[in-house]
Chain A
C-alpha cells in the first residue's frame, strides 16, 4: 500500500481528533455518573463563610471557659497531654498579651489585660497554613470557608504550624490514644476518629456536626457566649451582633482576615 505524505497527515490528524474527543466524552460521562451518586446531607447547616463571635462579657468564671473547652475535647477525642511542648489544643484559654501581641495601649484597663481569652483556629479567609501545605492536607473549603484538615494526607511536616500566626495547630508527637480519657473503657466519642502519631490537628468548626445540622460543640455548650453563623449573610446572628457592638480580631495587620471576632 502506498500513501503520500498528505494522506498520511490527514489520517493522523483525524484519528488524533477522534481520540481526544472520545476520551473527553467518556470523562464527562463518568463525572456525571459519579456526581449523581453523592450529595451533601439535606439536613446540613450551610453558609457562604462561617464565622464566630466570642462575647467576652459573658465569660465571667473559669467554669464558663472550661465548659466550652471540655465540650470540644470530648466530641473530638482530644488528648490531654500535660507536657506543654507536646500538648494538643483545639480551643483554649490564652492571656491577652499572647492573644493580641503588638497591642500598644499602655493604659488599657488592667481587668482586660488580665482576662483570659478563649482562642481557637480563626478559619482565616486568607489562610497562610493552606498556602504552605505541600500535600494540600489542609485546605479551605470553597463552599463555606472552613479551613479543613485531611488527616489522610497530612505528612506531619509542620509547615502549617510555622505559618499559622495564631498557634492554632498542634502536632502529635506521640500516639495520642493513651492520653484520651476513656469513659467506661470507650473513647469519649466513639463516632469521631482519634488522630495518629505524626499528624497536625486543629479546630475544624465541627464540620462533622454542621453536616448533621448541629452547631459546633463549643457554641452549644457556651450558653450564648459564643455565636456562630454566616458572615456573608447580613441577617445572621453573628452579623447582627457585629452591627451593634464594637468588635476586634486577632492580628488583623497580618492580612489573614480571621473569621473569629471578639466583643466586650
Chain B
C-alpha cells in the first residue's frame, strides 16, 4: 500500500469525526420536547374554555399550514375572522390571538422548533410576548 501510514491516519480521523456526535451524547437520545401550556392566561380560563382554535391534535400537526393560510387570508384577502369547526370565531392574528394565550414563546414555540431544528422567521417581525423571568 502506497502512503499506508497517511491513509490509515486519515481514516482514523474520518471515523472519529463521523462518530463524534454519537460518542459525545453517549448514545442516549436528547430529552423529548415538552411544550408547556400552563401560562397564567390559559390557567385563568374556566376549565371548559381551555381550547385552542382547533383540536390539540390538529394544531400539533397543522399549525404551520394554518398560520400560513391565516396570513394570506388577512393580508391578501382582507378577511380577518376565522370560524373553527365548533362555530366559534377568532381574530386571525399571531401576535394578538395566538400569543395572547401562549405567552410563553420560549417554552411553547422554541421547545419543539429547537428540537426539530426548524427556524421559522416569525419573530424577525412579529413581536414576541414579554416573558416573566422565572
Residues of A within 8 A of B (CB): 36-42, 44, 77, 139, 141, 143-144, 148, 150-152, 185-187, 190-197, 207, 211
Contacts and interface: CB of A to CB of B under 8 A. Distances in A.
Contacts of B130: 185-186
Contacts of B35: none
B127 A40 contact: no
A194 B129 CA distance: 13
A38 B78 contact: no
Contacts of B77: 38
B89 to A, nearest CB: 9
B82 A191 contact: no
B33 interface: no
B91 interface: yes
Given A40-B79, A41-B91, 6 more contacts: A37-B82, A39-B79, A77-B127, A152-B75, A193-B126, A195-B125
Interface string B109-121: 0000000000001
A250 B125 CA distance: 32
Given A38-B82, A193-B125, A196-B124, A150 B76 contact: yes
Given A36-B83, A191-B95, A211 B127 contact: no
Contacts of A192: 95
10 contacts: A37-B84, A38-B77, A38-B79, A40-B79, A41-B80, A148-B76, A152-B71, A152-B75, A185-B130, A194-B125
Contacts of A143: 78
Interface centre among B76, B96, B127 (most CB of A within 10 A): B127
B81 interface: yes
A148 B75 contact: yes
B80 A40 contact: yes
Contacts of A151: 125
A193 to B, nearest CB: 4
A170 B35 CA distance: 39
A151 to B, nearest CB: 6
A40 B125 CA distance: 24
A185 B95 CA distance: 17
B92 interface: yes
Nearest to A187: B127
B108 interface: no
Contact of A38 (B92, B126, B127): B92
A139 B124 contact: no
A38 B83 contact: yes
A64 B60 CA distance: 50
Contacts of B82: 37-38
Contacts of A197: 124
A173 B95 CA distance: 25
Contacts of B83: 36-39
A221 to B, nearest CB: 22
A44 B81 CA distance: 11
